[in-house]
Amino acid sequence: MKNVDYDIVIIGGGPAGLTAGLYAARARLNVILVEKLAPGGQVLVTDRVENYPGFPDGISGFELVQKMTEQAKQFDLVIENNEVLSMDLSDQVKTVRLSDKTITAHAIVIATGASPRKLGIPGEDVFFGKGVSSCATCDGPFYRDRVVAAVGGGDTAVQESIFLTKFAKKVYLIHRRDELRATGILRERALANDKIEFLWDSVLTGIQGLTNVEKITVKNVKSGDTKSLAADGCFIWIGIRPNADFLGDLVRRDEFGFVVVNSNMETSVPGVFAAGDVRVTPLRQIVTAVGDAGIAAFSAEHYIESL
Amino acid sequence: MAEGVMDIDDSSFEAEVLQSEKPVLVDFWAPWCGPCKAIGPAIEELAGTFGNKIKFTKCNVDDNPLSPGKYGVRAIPTLIFFKEGKDVEQITGMVAKSKLEDAINKIL
C-alpha cells in the first residue's frame, strides 16, 4: 500500500461527517475530519429535534451536535477547522488541498451537506441579517409582537413558522401551492395555529424597507394579483442546494448538483464516498445522514483493505 | 466564559465600546442561538491571537435589547467592529474563522 497522510479524509462536520468519523475512529483507521465552520451544519439552527430516536423529550440541534462531537472525540477522531479548496482524485492516492496545506489519503468521505436555497428576488441579499433570515431559532426572538412572513410549504417552513408564532403576533405563510407538503403532524399543528395566516398559491416577489425589512410584495400565481404587506421580517425556507461547488465534475452529480452514489455510498470514483444531505436521496434527515455515514465508513474501510 | 472576551451590557456599552481607544469587536449573541454558541470557540481563539490589538466583547441580546436595537441587529450571531466609536464592519451568520481574520486584518 502506498504511503499517505491519512486512511480517510472526511469532509464536513454535520451529523453525517461526525458519524463517519465515529465509525472510522472506532475501526482504528487514521482519520481526519475537516470542517470549514464549526461542527454541526444545518442541525445547529434547529430549535428542537423531535424525530431523532432516543430523545423522547426532543433535543436542541446544538446539544445533539455537541453530543455527537463528544462521542466521536472519545474515540480520538481528529477534527480540523479548515476548508477544502480542491482535490485531485485521478490517482489511487487522493490529494486534498486545504487552505494552508495539502494532504493525501486512501479514501474520501464527502459529507458537506446542503444550505438553504435563495429565492433570488430583489431585497433578499440586501436585507440578509436585517430582517431576511433562514434561522428562526437564531432570529425569531427579535420579532416579539411583530409581523413576519415565511416562505415555503415543506417540513422546515412549517415547523419553523410554528416556532415563530411563539414570538410574532402574526406569521404569513406564503406557499406557491394550495396545500402543504410538510409531514402530517406539522400540517395539523400549523393549520390549527390561529397566528398563522396562509397565503396559498402565492409567491414572494420583493422585499422592501429603508434599513430593515418593512414591506413585502406577494403575487398570487392563479389570479396574477400582486399585493404589498407590512412585515418586519421574512424567513425563507424553499429547499436546499448541495454544498458541492468545490467538487466541480470530479464525481458524478445530478442535475441539481447532488452527488450520485450507489447503496454502498460509493460515488463514481473508487475510494470516494458520499453521505447525508449532499447525496441524491429521497429523504434528508438526521437519521438518514447518520445511516448513510455508517455505510460510507464501512465501505471505505473495506475499500482500504482491498488495496 | 473564556478569558479574553469581555461581557458587556447596555450600561457599559458606551464606555467599553464607543469610548474605547482600541478597535472593538462586539459579538451579539444569545443562549438560545446554536450558531452563536458554535462560533464562540473561534472568537475566543481570535481573542487569544489579536487580543492586544482589538478588544473582544460579547453582548447578550436577551438581557440587553438597547444596544442591538441601536445598530439594527435583527439576526444573530452578528459581529460588529467599532473603531473610534463608529461601526465600521458588520458580519452576520456563521462564517469561517479565516473570514473573521480577514475582517480583523482589514480593521487593523
For residue A170, give the CATH number of its domain. 3.50.50.60
Q: Does residue A1 belong to any structural domain of this protein?
A: no
Class for the domain spanning B5-107: alpha beta
Chain A CB within 8 Å of residue B36 CB: yes
Backbone φ, ψ for residue B22 (5° rounding): -85, 155
| Minimum CA–CA partner of A139 in chain B | B75
The yes-or-no verdict on residue A62 having pLDDT over 70 is: yes
CB B108 within 8 A of CB B53: yes
The answer to whether residues A195 and A263 belong to one domain is: no
Per-residue model confidence (pLDDT) at position B3: 56
Domain hosting residue A167, numbered range? 118-236
Which of A194, A221, A236 is at the close of a domain?
A236
Check CB contact under 8 Å for B78 and A233.
Answer: no
The answer to whether residues A147 and A207 belong to one domain is: yes
Q: How many residues does chain A have?
A: 307
Sign of the dihedral defined by the CA atoms of residues A243, A249, A251, A253, in that order:
positive
CB A277 within 8 A of CB A110: no
Min CA distance, B72 vs chain A (Å)?
Answer: 7
pLDDT band at B32 (very low <50, low <70, confident <90, very high): confident
What pTM value is reported for the model?
0.88
Q: How many CB pairs under 8 A join A and B?
A: 80
Which of A192, A218, A236 is at the close of a domain?
A236
The yes-or-no verdict on residue B4 having pLDDT over 90 is: no
Q: Which of B32, B61, B74 sits opposite A212 (nearest CB)?
A: B74
β-strands A233-236, A132-133 pairing: parallel
B54/A300 Cα distance (integer angstroms): 45
pLDDT band at A117 (very low <50, low <70, confident <90, very high): very high
- For residue A62, is it left (φ>0), alpha (ψ between -120 and 50) or beta? alpha
ipTM of the assembly?
0.82
Distances in Å between the Cα of A99 and the Cα atoms of A35, B47, B91 are 12, 21, 21
Min CA distance, B79 vs chain A (Å)?
Answer: 11
Chain A CB within 8 Å of residue B76 CB: yes
The answer to whether residues A133 and A228 belong to one domain is: yes
The yes-or-no verdict on residue A129 having pLDDT over 80 is: yes
Q: Would you tell me the crossing angle of helices A15-26 and A61-74 to the nearest 10 degrees?
A: 20
pLDDT band at A137 (very low <50, low <70, confident <90, very high): confident
Check CB contact under 8 Å for A44 and B90.
Answer: no
The yes-or-no verdict on residue A247 having pLDDT over 50 is: yes
Per-residue model confidence (pLDDT) at position B2: 42
Backbone φ, ψ for residue A191 (5° rounding): -65, -25
Strand order across the beta sheet in which A226-230 lies: A202-209, A213-220, A226-230
Instruction: Tell me which chain A residues have a C-beta less than 8 angstroms from the C-beta of B92.
Output: 128-129
A9/A105 Cα distance (integer angstroms): 6
Per-residue model confidence (pLDDT) at position A293: 98
Per-residue model confidence (pLDDT) at position A82: 93
The answer to whether residues A127 and A33 belong to one domain is: no
Amino acid in the structure at residue B75: A
Min CA distance, B9 vs chain A (Å)?
Answer: 17
Q: Report how many domains make up chain A.
A: 2
Which of A236, A254, A274 is at the close of a domain?
A236
Whether B33 is catalytic is yes
Q: Which of B32, B36, B96 sits opposite A37 (nearest CB)?
A: B96
